[in-house]
Amino acid sequence: MSLPEIVSRGEWRAARAELLVKEKAATRARDALNAERRGLPMVEVEEEYVFEGGDGKATLLELFDGRRQLVVYHFMFAPEWDAGCRSCSAFLDQVGHLAHLHARGTSFAAVSRAPYPKILPFKARMGWTLPWYSSCGSGFNRDFDVTLAREGELVERPGLSCFLRERDRVFHTYTTYERGLDGLGSTTSLLDLTALGRQEEWEEPKGRASAYGAPAGSERIRYHDEYDDWYGK
């Protein structure tokens, strides 16, 4: 095994300071990329997708649960499989408490092609409480390129899509796949993919920080059991 070189504390501090310069540059570059992502155009979703969840049938609009934004994790679970994908399961394990997303008007849900009666016991086995829906029977997975036809067979791949709601109209704003999921799972990393972002005053473009009449960004953070019910809706 190759291990780091052993040095004095002073040498470590000097090396750390040198690396910090590059880390700060990477942070600034990431902020610029996030702003460019928020500047992407959006396309209206006109297809009437119907999903099945714990409360029965639901439309894509209903998956928002009254909030302004929706983040969908495309969980790999084909109808013929007995269990969900291991890598997708590891991803959901690291998703933080949804109350912090909700406080920024953003809902989160997993969607798979497996029938809901297959999803339910696996969800219970994993101990997850987050919303998970079946898209079985709809073209949702194919339309968002997470179920692909290759050599006469259907192939699944992981992905994450973001949607924005304007009254009863739903718009698709962003999707990423596979390696684009690396490093995601925290509240801020998911918000960075959305059209409204973290809703901080310093973010570009301006004018997206103070939605819902609530404080902007980090001023809105509470303990997850202290958010008011109306926050984010």
pLDDT score for 32: 96
Give per-residue pLDDT as tens, 96-108: 899 999 989 999 9
* b/e map 38-70, b = 16+ CB within 10 Å: beeeeeebeeebbbbbeeeebebbebbeebbbb
Q: What span, in angstroms and rounded, lies between the C-alpha atoms of 154 and 137?
A: 14
Distances (CA, A) of 152 to 16, 59, 177: 52, 30, 22
Our CA dihedral for 74, 78, 82, 86, rounded to 10 degrees, sits at: -40
Site of tokens 């924005």: 164
Contact status, residue 170 vs residue 143, Cβ threshold 8 Å? no
Q: What span, in angstroms and rounded, lies between the C-alpha atoms of 201 and 217?
A: 7
pLDDT score for 229: 63
Please determine, for residue 91, whether its predicted confidence score (pLDDT) is greater than 70.
yes
Contacts of 56 (CB under 8 A, 6+ apart): none
What is the pTM (predicted TM-score) of this model?
0.91
pLDDT score for 225: 83
Please determine, for residue 215, whether its predicted confidence score (pLDDT) is greater than 90.
no
| Average pLDDT of the chain to the nearest whole number | 92
pLDDT score for 228: 75
Contact status, residue 196 vs residue 68, Cβ threshold 8 Å? yes
Give per-residue pLDDT as tens, 117-170: 999 999 999 999 999 999 999 999 999 999 999 988 999 999 999 999 999 999
List the beta bridge partners of residue 134.
52, 112
pLDDT score for 210: 63
pLDDT score for 217: 60
pLDDT score for 226: 84
Q: What span, in angstroms and rounded, lies between the C-alpha atoms of 170 and 215?
A: 25
